[in-house]
Amino acid sequence: MEKYISARANGNVVLDKAAPSGSYKVDVQFIVNIDGTVSEMKTLTNHGYGLEKEAMRLIKEGPKWQPAKQNGHFVRAYILQPITFQVSNGDNEQILNKIPIITLKELLSIGAYKLLGIPEKSEALKYSFSMDLPDKTIVENYNTGNNYTESTISNMKRLKKGAIIYFDSIRMEIDGEEKKLASRVFRISE
């Protein structure tokens, strides 16, 4: 559940509503039915800033739950699921200023090896390239080698100033062994 929430939570919800920095625990109560679906969902907290709505969305759109068993039979059961949101908007400008900047023109003309600091004669096996698009979605494309896929290039052309791009799961062959390299992050300047 923790992995699912971390991957699916929309962090812009609290930033758009200007929630103050801090830690917010939202308690969501619901029933897990015998088929694993949820019903009768409600929050037991009221922080505002869209937190309760986002927590309920995460539970509602999440995977089916394992139903409870009593005396060998599946039964409906109440669940109290806490979801904690960490908000840190006071330092966003400082954090953004630490991200290396690249222009869109440079991004489209520089191969992956140069951008990632990999020697040209190396063999990059695979990497994930994620981008924050203008419609507030994040797309993820998988690439191999120095050149980007057509889908990656198409998404790159949609990037706007301030967009963040991520190279993750970088795996390459070093001395005949597959190694994982550290992720890299860049910000588009124009």
pTM for the complete prediction? 0.50
Which whole number is the average pLDDT over 64-79?
92
**3-state SS track over 38-92:** EEEEEECCCCCCCHHHHHHHHHHHCCCCCCEEECCEEECEEEEEEEEEEECCCCH
CA distances from 106 to 27, 61, 109, 128 (A): 46, 39, 5, 19
CATH code linked to domain 2-90: 3.30.1150
pLDDT computed for residue 137 by the predictor: 82
Task: For 133, list phi and psi in degrees, rounded to 5.
Answer: -90, 160
Residue with the two structure tokens 């200023």: 97
Band the pLDDT of 92: cuts 50, 70, 90.
low
pLDDT tens digit sequence for 125-177: 788 888 888 887 888 888 888 888 899 889 889 888 888 888 888 888 877 78
Domain layout of the chain by residue ranges: 2-90, 99-188
Which region among 12-21, 43-52, 116-125 has the lowest average model confidence (pLDDT)? 12-21
Helix (H) or strand (E) holding 16: helix 12-16
Q: Write down the pLDDT at residue 41.
A: 95
